[in-house]
Amino acid sequence: MPCNTTQHNAPRTFSRRRLLKNTSAGLCAASVNALLPEKRHTAYAATTGAQCLVVAGMADSICGQWADLLAPSLAERLRLPAFKLKNTLGWDGITAANLFEVQQMQIQPPAGLVVPGTVILAELGGDSRVHYDYQRWIPTFLSYQPTVTVGRISLHRSFSAILKEHPLRVAVSGYTGRELPSLLALELLKLHPLPLTGFGTPESAIAALLSGAVDIIQLPVDSAYAERIASLKEKGFRPLFTNCLYKNNLPDTELPPVFGSICMQERPRAFTSPLYKVWSTATTASTLCAGLMMPFLSAPETVAHWRQACQELAALPDIRNHARAENEVIKTGADCMALYAATKADTLTTITLRRWLALNIPRWRDAQASNKPALNTTTTQ
């Protein structure tokens, strides 16, 4: 039977050589486009619509001021539409953090969150209002500012016997507020702190100290610190120690020694205790005035763009002038990630803090309600 040669002699539409040639050309074109920053940013912006930033506090708060400064320049560098700022009530930022976490399930979730370090202290202390996990957030910009503990006592002599019947009354905004490092530091020194709540501003704490209602207060090292501490020194009060881990993180202000050096001198054994680790974590969290966070499941390329943009923002004159005026230190890039990593507590640290609070808060409340000092506080070390 004669074979059909027409079928075998027909030209092939696709050949292996042509397929390899087209594939190589496509790969080369893709690699060239990937190297062009203009096309890369344009593609990123095209896939991202107008988004919002959830901000802790109103426009006049610390986070609100930073959000107003960062949002326009950040959107410009990311080639995105202007961010919508969603301000929330609450000085501690818990409402904003909860809102940010809940709205991650929306079709277009918030792009970022601007919150203070008090949201970390609330979660570490087991606040029942917390419905978020700060360890899942990705930091891109942090504003850093230490605090100073002020009083009229001497830390270089033992007060255990003298103060056994009279604990030190400490003005705090809340049991897990920004003053938590001062409570932990006094506990490590065996000075039996008794926190009195309701002092949410430095002005109210200073007024209580001058009136004799409290013995210890904690002040932020902000633009008004030098004037405040000078006035207190004239009345016999003095700065006791700085709540900060390292001296190289301090702003250009005359400050007392960091607590770590005092603890090593006065109570060396406490320096290696679990409660000191709690103080270290809480102190780092309390120094964060404002932080720009991204969701945990952000794409790596998006995170890289934000971090690069934040590093560029830190060099802008408006950003640097605002930080200098408020006596804050800006952290971006690797410094930002390292500082935020120091706020992440392990299981032992979290349990130690929550047990210490659970043992002491009932008697603190009873003492404040009856206006009588508690005899002692229970230490967990």
List where CATH 3.40.190.150 sits in the chain: 50-144+288-341
Give, in order, the Cα–Cα distances in Å from 249 to each of 155, 272, 288, 320, 362: 23, 22, 12, 16, 36
Nearest-angstrom CA–CA distance, 367 and 374: 6
Q: Is 289 helix (H, G, I), strand (E, B) or coil?
A: strand
* Better pLDDT: 272 or 375: 272
Strand ranges, E, within the chain: 52-56, 84-88, 112-115, 138-144, 147-151, 168-171, 193-196, 216-220, 238-243, 288-294, 329-331
CB 230 within 8 A of CB 236: no
Q: Taking all residues of the chain, what is their mean pLDDT, rounded to a whole number?
A: 85
CA atoms within 13 A on the CB side of 162: 8
Rg of the Cα trace of the chain?
A: 27
Give the pLDDT of residue 159: 47
Q: Where in the chain is the domain with CATH 3.40.190.10?
A: 147-285+348-370
- DSSP 8-state secondary structure symbol assigned to residue 213: S
Q: Is 155 exposed, middle or buried (0-12, 13-18, 19+ CB in 10 A)?
A: buried
Which of the four pLDDT bands, split at 50, 70 and 90, describes residue 219? very high
147-285+348-370: CATH class: alpha beta
Q: What percent of the chain has pLDDT over 90?
A: 70
For 105-115, what is each residue's pLDDT tens digit? 888 899 999 99
Query: Which residue type occupies 147?
Result: T
Residue 97: pLDDT above 70? yes
Q: Which residue has the higher pLDDT, 38 or 144?
A: 144
Asked whether residue 5 carries a pLDDT value surpassing 70, the answer given is no
| Under 8 Å between Cβ of 132 and 98 | yes
pTM for the whole structure: 0.83
Q: Which of 33-42, 131-140, 221-230, 298-307 has the lowest mean pLDDT?
A: 33-42
Output the six-digit token pair for 157: 């002599």
pLDDT of residue 89 exceeding 50, the answer is yes
How many residues make up the chain in this entry? Answer: 381
Q: Which CATH superfamily is domain 50-144+288-341 in?
A: Bordetella uptake gene, domain 1 (3.40.190.150)
Q: Is the pLDDT assigned to residue 7 strictly greater than 50? A: no
> Residue with structure tokens 């207190």?
232
Which pLDDT score, from 0 to 100, does residue 298 have?
A: 92
Using pLDDT thresholds of 50, 70 and 90, give the confidence band for residue 45: very low
- pLDDT band of residue 210 (cuts 50, 70, 90) is very high
